[in-house]
Chain A
Amino acid sequence: MNAPIPPQNPPLLSVIDLKMHFPVRGGVLKKTKGTIYALDGISFTVREGETLGIVGESGCGKTTAGRTILRLYPPTSGSVIFEGKDLARIPKKILRETRRRMQMIFQDPFESLDARQTVYEILEEPFLIHGMGNPTERKEKIHQLLDTVGLQKSAASLFPHEFSGGQRQRIGIARAIALNPRLIVCDEPVSALDVSIQSQILNLLIELQRERGLSYLFISHNLAVVKYMSESIIVMYLGKIVEHAPAELIYQNPVHPYTQALISAIPVPDPTRKRRRALLSGDLPSPRNPPAGCRFHTRCPLVLDQCRREEPLLRCHEGDPDRRVACHRSTEGIKIW
């Protein structure tokens, strides 16, 4: 199902050198005492109807990336071009209107729903916010939405806590698609769910994409899930992109040692195959104090002196415009396993 998207699909979203630094404040006067470099310059493009996956360890800045792109956080620098317009430069009123076409699905479906509201009220909210429809039209719409995400009409009068995790995520999805968005940022949409339910939700997302021509920015720490969903994949490490490649290639021929380590850590279902060693040692360094040079050098088995001093740029790999890698040794073709 991950057929390569023809390159002629026009770009829907372009992220250019986007940074989000959180100040660390302290003391009585809340002076800035430090900075968390949660997102430190990422660039990529999402085409119409495409799914771009973002993968990386917890704490590498994936959630921050998704939220900053949707302008839920005010970016420190860089731009987000959506539908050809820079979100930072459009007036607030137009931004609010634009939000109809870019939505979000959250990791914790319960936390992201107002527990005091019934499902009906939750799903009516998008229409009320944008002043759309009269009560009968809205009711019709809400029942359609419930049907689309595989919930019964009777669910409308219930409260979120009366559902299972998977059903709650369906409510979250229904809300996200209510206003017919073109882009949905899915931030770990199945990570909080039972493994048995995960594929149902993933398949629902794929089905919705096929029916509606949606673009997804699909975020997860789970590489297998990201690969299942995406045409191309971005691997993030400490607020930066280390590798960007089509989904298949990332599996077959990962270039960056961090990507290789991530893939080696995926459990192999076939017991006759030799299990790869887990290659990642040590913890993720703090984004408050990222290592100098290559951010991965503290954990990299291929580290050179140059890596400690000089930050590698994200460059095309072997002339392929679809592949980008940020590693000083990427041309050497070394596999760390």
Chain B
Amino acid sequence: MKIDPATLKKIKRFQSIKRGYYSLIAISLFIVLSLFAELFINSRALLVRYDGRYYFPTYGEMIPGRVFGFDYDYETNYRELQKRFREAPSDDWALMPLVPYNPYENDLRQDDYPPFPPSFTEKHFLGTDTIGRDILSRLLYGFRTAILFSLALLFATYGVGISLGCLMGYLGGRFDLVFQRVIEIWTNVPVLYVIIIISSILVPNAMILLLIMAFFGWTSITWIMRTATYKEKTREYVLALKALGASDARIIFKHILPNTLSIIVTFAPFALSSGIVALTSLDYLGFGLPAPTPSWGELLQQGWSNMDAWWIASAVISAMILTLLTVTFVGEAVREAFDPKLFTTYE
């Protein structure tokens, strides 16, 4: 398999647009990092040495406190464990992650009420929210939720859009006509309102929310794909393949799809950022993912209603801006590198 020169040129061109290229590296790094969030931000220790044995609590079953000599059967409090090891010197020790809080636990104190401002000694680097949960922790896990959700949404809408759009463009005729009208009607449905109505009837989980959003989100990519396929189909090389006796399936999968892929790729970053924005707005309004799922929208809502706790709003707003800006930079660069207008002629 040799990558064709046109594609190679596009990739090279993308790499030469530094801002977009580094943004892609950054956002990929963030995503990978968030996938392994448990290693950096977690209430479980990374590694515990106790009585000559080693424990890796991060992934896997919870380890009851009794195992480490506490008198309870629920999950070990590793922060306590570490403190205990430090106070009574022995060969035992515990290695905690950078931020020793998971996004769900409330770090409550005897003498004070949350939200607590940023504190290095408490290892709440960005402070806590109004019920004492670590903000950095909720930010990272919320990022993971948002990005995974948007990616899933992207795959769902692209799956429908690519297959349906391709069929519409390729088959044409009545099939095309009917779905053209359906899309026109569909795009006029105010999606957010529909979701709000549905959410007020039933409590949505991630899967339901995803289905609803995909149900209304497939139209634009379908339209793009339809146009691209339609154009591609009328090109002479398709006629040459038909003259050779190639089947429709072969023409679509081996020739038309690979040739239209570069157009679809251009829209992916923008679809991703709009997915993030949509989920955040829904969560902000309280119609999104159910509590206590870590989410940026929910944090934003807290920040908005607790302006005194400036660290909440400023953290989530900065994170939002940073993420959206990065994704947009990638999108712009991809668009510039893949611009079909520059590639219609080859000489």
Contacts and interface: CB of A to CB of B under 8 A. Distances in A.
Interface in B1-37: 2, 4-7
Give the interface size class of chain B: 20 to 34
14 contacts: A67-B239, A72-B239, A72-B243, A99-B244, A99-B245, A103-B243, A112-B240, A115-B4, A115-B346, A116-B4, A129-B250, A161-B6, A161-B346, A179-B244
Contacts of B6: 115-116, 161
B241 A125 contact: yes
B246 A125 contact: yes
A160 B243 CA distance: 19
Contacts, number: 76
B7 A116 contact: yes
B237 A113 contact: yes
Interface of A: 28-30, 67, 70, 72, 95-97, 99-100, 102-104, 106, 108, 110-118, 125-126, 129-130, 157, 159, 161-162, 172, 175, 179
A96 B244 CA distance: 8
B235 interface: yes
Contacts of A157: 2
B71 interface: no
Contacts of A159: 4-5
B222 to A, nearest CB: 18
Interface of B: 2, 4-7, 177, 181, 235-237, 239-247, 250, 255, 258-259, 346-347
Which 6 residue pairs are nearest across A and B when measured between Cβ atoms?
A: A99-B245, A96-B245, A112-B236, A116-B4, A111-B236, A161-B346
Contacts of B2: 118, 157
A170 to B, nearest CB: 15
Nearest to A109: B236
Given A104-B239, A116-B255, 10 more contacts: A72-B242, A106-B239, A108-B236, A111-B237, A112-B240, A114-B259, A125-B241, A129-B245, A129-B247, A159-B5
Given A116-B6, A116-B7, A161 B347 contact: yes
A126 B239 contact: no
Contacts of B346: 110, 115, 161
Contacts of A172: 240
A29 B177 CA distance: 7
A97 B245 contact: yes
Nearest to A107: B236
Among A28, A112, A116, A126, the one with the most B-chain Cβ atoms within 10 Å of its Cβ is A116
B107 to A, nearest CB: 57
A175 B240 contact: yes
Contacts of A162: 5
B240 A129 contact: no
B4 A106 contact: no
A138 to B, nearest CB: 14
A55 to B, nearest CB: 21
A104 B5 CA distance: 27
B236 A126 contact: no
A97 B259 CA distance: 27
Given A116-B7, A157-B2, A106 B236 contact: yes
Given A110-B346, A159-B5, A116 B244 contact: no
B16 to A, nearest CB: 20
A296 to B, nearest CB: 30
B223 to A, nearest CB: 16
